[in-house]
Amino acid sequence: MPRTIADGPSMEDTLHNGDNLLVDKISPRIGNLKRFDIIVFYPYGKDIDEYYVKRIIGMPGETIQILGSDIYINGEILEEDYGKDPITQAGIAAEPITLADDEYFVMGDNREVSQDSRAIGPVLAENINGKEMIRIWPLNKFGLVD
């Protein structure tokens, strides 16, 4: 499994700057991604060597909207507790966004500082490089990432 490093505060409190993680590159290839998985992806395509680490919120075919601090999936409030702080910026999700069959809506857990689908738009499946599996550093936090 390849290794990646969390860079910046966008996934706090789940991941912290400098956390080293092992990445499963097979799950995205076989369509084995689910809501709340943490993924590594290329926001601007694989030709640009910049990757983000975010959590899947919306799945292909779903309609996403953020009203106030609530995330709606197909008109129903999403029950989740990954966000570090309440959402104050809905970005493009202030209006409903219907994802195509090859798109995901992702957000960082630190909602106030995360550059995610609210700003960059949905993530194409072909730009997903892997799914975070195991934190290997720091040692005192070694284990599966949730």
Q: Where do the domains of the chain lie?
A: 3-59+100-144
CATH topology of domain 3-59+100-144: Umud Fragment, subunit A (2.10.109)
Which H or E run contains 29? helix 26-29
Q: What tokens does 17 get?
A: 């700057």
The residues assigned a catalytic role are 10, 54
Beta-sheet strands, E only, within the chain: 3-5, 20-24, 38-41, 52-58, 63-67, 70-73, 76-77, 97-98, 103-107, 123-124, 128-137, 143-144
Which distant-in-sequence residues (6+ apart) come within 8 Å of 68 by Cβ? 87
pTM of model > 0.75: yes
What is the chain's pLDDT, residue by residue, as a tens digit (146 residues)?
Answer: 578 888 899 999 899 999 999 988 888 887 789 999 999 999 888 888 889 999 999 999 999 999 999 999 999 999 998 888 889 999 999 999 999 999 999 999 999 999 999 999 999 999 999 998 889 889 898 888 87
